[in-house]
Amino acid sequence: MGLGRFKFEGFDVLSYLQSRHIPYKTSGKNISAGWVGINCLFCIDGSNHLGINLTAKTFSCFRCGETGNAIKLIQTIEGISSVKAAFEVMEQYNGEIFTPKKTHYRSKLIFPIGTSKNFYANQMSFLEKRRFDPDSAIKKFDLYSVGPIGDFKHRLIFPIYINNRVVAYVGRDVTGQAEIPYKNSPEELSIKPVKSCLYNIDSVYRNTAIIVEGIFDAWRLGDGAIATFGTQYTHEQIRLLKGMKRIFVMYDADASEQANKLAHDASAIVPNVEILTLSEGDPDNLSERDVFALRKDLGL
C-alpha cells in the first residue's frame, strides 16, 4: 500500500515519541494548540522549537526552518534512509491505542569472515609505524585481525564500545592498497550504526572529553578522547554527549570550520565547550611530551 492520506492521518505521534523515549510537550512555551513540541533534531536546540502538527502529521522548526512530514521525521529519529522502512515503522503506530508490533533488533554483533586474534606481521608493523606499541594497543583497545579473505581482508578491526558492549566496528586496511582505508561494519550486522557512536566514549571520566576526528587521534590523546569517525558528525553522536560538563573540540588543523560547527551544536547540551586548534597536522602527530602537557593543562 502506498503512502496514502489515510495512513498519515492514523499515525499516533505521541505514542511513537513515547516509545522512542523522546521528551515532548503539548502545551507551554513555544507550543501552539494542536501541536506537540520536541527539541529540534536538526539544529540541536534546547527549548522545543520543533513543532509537530498532530492533525497534518507535518513538522517545522521555527529556529532553523527545517520542515517535513511524518516519514522524514521517522527517518531522522530512526537513522534510516529507506522510505519503505520508515513507512513500516509508522504503520506500527496507526491508531489511538499504543500497540506497536514487536520489533526485532540485532542482539549480537556479527564480525567479518576471517576475524581472529591471530595478528599478521604487516598488521603489527602498521601499528609500529603509527608509533604505537602493538601488544599494548591490541590489549587496551581489544583489536582483532582479518587475514587475506573476505570483505575486510588485510584489516585491523577496531571494536566500538558503548556502555561496555561492542555495538559496531571499523576495519582499517594495513596494506595501503585498499580503495577505502576505513570500512565500517554493515548496519545490518551491527547493533548500532557506526555514525551513531562515538569511539572510546567509555573511557570518559569526570564528565570531560576531547572530541577528535579519528581513531588514532583518540589513541594518541588517551582516555577521555573520543572520535566522531571524520568531520561529518551526526545528531545521534551529539546526543551521546548529554551529561558531559565540559568538552574540548580538537579536529585536524585543516578542519576549523567543522570544529566550529560541532562546538556550536554541542554547546546546546554541554555547559562548557572549547575549541583547541593545531597549527598543523592532527592530534595523532603530537609527541608524547606534547600530549602529557596537553592533558595536564586540561586536567585530564
C-alpha cell at 83: 522510505
d(C-alpha 227, C-alpha 213), whole Å: 5
CATH superfamily of 5-91: Zinc finger, CHC2-typedomain (3.90.580.10)
Would you say 31 and 49 are in contact if contact means Cβ atoms under 8 Å apart? no
The residue extents of the domains of the chain are: 5-91, 115-196, 201-298
Cβ-contact 35, 55 below 8 angstroms: no
* CATH code reported for the domain at 115-196: 3.90.980.10
Q: What is the pLDDT of residues 23-57, one digit of tens each?
A: 888 888 778 888 998 888 776 666 788 899 988 88
Distance between CA 176 and CA 155 in Å, rounded?
Answer: 10
CA atoms within 13 Å, Cβ hemisphere of 50: 23
C-beta of residue 12 within 8 angstroms of C-beta of residue 95? yes
Q: Is the pLDDT of residue 202 over 60?
A: yes
Give the tens place of pLDDT for each residue, 219-256: 999 999 999 999 998 888 998 998 899 999 999 999 99
The three three-digit cell numbers of residue 231, written as one number: 568531520
pLDDT category, 107, cuts 50, 70, 90? low
Residue 103 binned pLDDT confidence (cut-offs 50, 70, 90): very low
Q: How would residue 98 be classed by pLDDT, with cut points 50, 70 and 90?
A: very low
Q: Minimum mean pLDDT among 102-106, 158-162, 189-193: which range?
A: 102-106
**How confident is the model over 133-162, as a mean pLDDT?**
94
70-78 and 83-91 helices, crossing angle to 10°: 100
Q: What is the mean pLDDT of residues 274-293?
A: 93
Please check whether residue 189 is in contact with residue 109, taking contact to mean a CB–CB distance below 8 angstroms: yes
All 3 cell numbers of residue 229?
569517525
- pTM score, two decimals? 0.65
Q: State whether the Cα torsion 26-32-36-42 is positive or negative.
A: negative
What does residue 30 show for φ and ψ, rounded to 5 degrees? 70, 5
CA atoms within 13 A on the CB side of 111: 17
Q: Which residue's entry shows cell 497534518? A: 56
User: What are the two backbone dihedrals, phi and then psi, of residue 98, each rounded to the nearest 5 degrees?
Assistant: -80, 95
201-298 CATH fold: Dna Topoisomerase Vi A Subunit; Chain: A, domain 2 (3.40.1360)
* For residue 71, pLDDT beyond 80: yes
Beta-strand pair 225-227/182-184? unpaired
pLDDT band at 101 (very low <50, low <70, confident <90, very high): very low
